[in-house]
Amino acid sequence: MKMNPNTKTEITFEDFKTEVLNDYKVAVTSRECSLLGRREVLTGKAKFGIFGDGKEIPQIAWAKAFENGDFRSGYYRDQTFMMAIGELTIEQFFAGLYANTDIKEEPMSAGRQMGGHFSTFSLDENGHWRNLTEQKNSSSDISPTAGQMPRLLGLAQASKIYRNVKGIDTTKFSKEGNEIAWGTIGNASTSEGLFFETINAAGVLQVPMVISIWDDEYGISVHARHQTTKENISEILKGFQRDENNKGYEILRVDGWNYPELIDTYQRAAKIARKEHVPVMIHVQELTQPQGHSTSGSHERYKNSERLAWEEEYDCNTQLREWMISNNIATDEDLTALERQIKKEVRDGKKAAWSAFINPILAERKQAIQLLEKLAASSPNGVFITKLKNDLSAIDEPLRRDIVSATRKALRYVVAENSVERSSLQQWIDNYLSQVQPKYSSHLYSESDLSVFNQAEVEPTYDTHAKEVDGRIVLRENFDAIFSKYPESLIFGEDAGYIGDVNQGLEGLQEKHGELRVSDTGIREATIVGQGIGMAMRGLRPIAEIQYLDYIMYALQIMSDDLATVQYRTKGRQKAPLIVRTRGHRLEGIWHSGSQMGGILNLIRGIHVLVPRNMTKAAGFYNTLLESDEPALVVECLNGYRLKEKLPNNIGEFKTPIGVVETVREGEDITLISYGSTLRLVEQAAKELLEVGIDAEVIDVQSLLPFDINHDIVKSIAKTNRFMVIDEDIEGGASSYILNEVLNTQNAFQYLDSQPKTLAAKPHRPAYGTDGDYFSKPSVEDIFEAVYAVMHELSPADFPKLR
């Protein structure tokens, strides 16, 4: 048998033996990490464990086919693969289990994810791209089952773009589009809709994607007969198999304990995907899961004795061991000695990882104890402080919460005292929290020099006799400029290509810039966003279009669990600056006029949420975002595409600032705060209010996340002494978010002479038709009367009751 993962030349039998023995060493090392990791959880040193035991040999075969520049999008069973490509050491494995917050010790997530969630560094310490073609890449894992699949699609599509679109600087990102995106998923998780949506999309797009399905016949405790028709995922997906007349998948099956066949299968899959740009599915069957699903239970509870006996015999490591002996690659004595050595290496690695985790905390506790001793000696309440100190000292394996909890409680006993020791402890706590809190909270957004906050505003400029055009024309001309300025930019979505989107904001751009850059997709919102995430992770600048805001619900899980957390869960070492374009707000009917902003604001922290009132503002947001490195959701006004706007003469260059409000009308009596389509109603109401002597100031929020970073709203309230938030979301939604920002973040309460008010939509979805809109969401009359009522309360004589 010929096996040569590292070169394309022949190797000697001795070299072959060395390689096989090294593979076995990796497999046994990974298994020992799993076994010892479970014990660490059960003894309390770690919180939870989920391991890759039983999948070692297939992952080693996979690693041999994985080349520099390739990307992985997997799940929490792939530890052996990460070890095999040299991106996970024993110490790092246990550092992840202990949640070490030092990214040098725990490079997978700096303790932010549970063990088993793997990634590599795509960015340097400054948030700039590394050369991804010179390293083996793993996109950061997420826990939701099948959640890795949409991103996998985009990682694969990037290779197609790099291979076929000219003019992109590919230096750091691709070598002629030859990279494969490799995905992994458990057999039970193939029941998820995200799996089927991705499989279909990849078959349509014909991208270099290889998906491995690890099949051990169970999903946690539930057998495949309850999961999959025919109990066989590749059997029911046979219709995707390509043939001489139809494009599709190459579908391969292999037993997960058969070392030589696994290597051959993965080499064949790589060749097909890399050269032909055809997706490949590898169904890896007859796998085992020796410790069950996780540390939360034992598989003896749900597997019968026959199954357990079979798993012991067909354990992939056991099978490789027997194969090596039968083929004179090693003796039983040799392997026993090797296994004994590995056990010691894993134990030593575990001890080193624990020391690296606990020693800094012990040093921090020592500082705290010294301060508490001094405080106790100087305080009449020293006996109580001494107890806190002794309790802290008695903890064998303290956590940071133990340290800061004890010191903060100690301050309560000296609150009325004025001593140097009290001041010293106060300062230490403040410094400690300022140093420790970022270990758990940093990088929700970009902290690089490409942050949106480093993008200066560029106002649109106009010719003296600038013509007025439909708002869609401003967008169209700006997108045209974007695609000309940024070769790496592209847009895709339902009806985005041939017809130029449903509102003609992309009219004619597919013909000009090509089908790969302005493209149609199927009706599949989750994988539209997934395409964008994966491509953005590989240096492209995608704009993923979701036709209507209401339908973003299909993609909300992917946006929330994946896109919003990329920077955070990698502590700034990966990014996905995807722009999600949609349109929403007021139109007609239940599913075309939703404004579920409250839910969106709660679920996608980590993504900027931008709500421009017109298409010029929207175009400016796109220009700003393409100069930054952060993801955003841009909600265009659905009823604004045909409204007239002046056409700027600096198309593609003007930039709307993010996080900055705009005062669109100055006034003295009350501040009215709104955004999007509703702002036009507020402006009209303000004109009508002026007719009865009420001078309202109108502020356009523009950006909900981030919100008013300059605190301009409170400056307005300091002048008017009252305010109202008008929002087409339901009560308790975005209006409550804005109210909280104004009152609790900007401290506007100190300037108020009247109760702050919110005016929101009815709790039901909007009914169909113009009347449905009028009676479901705030109208001009609603706004007028609500503001009038505030002024009536202030001065009934000047503003008699209306009704």
Q: State the catalytic residues.
A: 592
- 396 contacts: CB under 8 Å, gap ≥ 6: none
Whose CA is closest to 731, among 677, 698, 794, 776? 776
Report d(CA 173, CA 118) in Å as an integer.
20
Whose CA is closest to 179, among 162, 203, 195? 162
Whose CA is closest to 474, among 347, 231, 325, 650? 650
Report d(CA 167, CA 74) in Å as an integer.
31
For 688, other C-beta atoms within 10 Å of its C-beta total 16
CB 449 within 8 A of CB 126: yes
In DSSP terms, which residues pair with 520 in a beta bridge? Answer: 493
Helix axes 56-65, 259-276, angle to 10 degrees: 40
DSSP characters over 123-138 = B-TTSPBP-GGGS-EE
CB 656 within 8 A of CB 480: no
- 90 contacts: CB under 8 Å, gap ≥ 6: 29, 33, 345, 346, 348, 349, 350, 353
Residue 458: DSSP 8-state: B
* Three-class secondary structure of residue 726 per DSSP: strand
CB 285 within 8 A of CB 217: no
Report d(CA 88, CA 96) in Å as an integer.
10
Integer distance in angstroms from the first to the last C-alpha of the chain?
91
- CB contact burial 37-48 (16+ within 10 A = b; e otherwise): bbebbeeebbee
Long-range contacts of 438-442, Cβ-Cβ distance < 8 Å, separation of 24 or more: 439/101, 439/110, 439/111, 440/101, 440/112, 442/568, 442/571, 442/572
Residue 520's φ and ψ, nearest 5 degrees, are -85, 150
CA 747 to mean position of chain CA atoms = 32
Separation in Å, CA 539 to CA 172, 417, 478: 8, 57, 22
Whose CA is closest to 142, among 121, 120, 122, 113? 113
State the DSSP H helix or E strand holding residue 608, giving kind and residue range, or none if neither: strand 608-610
Residue 407's φ and ψ, nearest 5 degrees, are -70, -35
* Three-class secondary structure of residue 419 per DSSP: coil
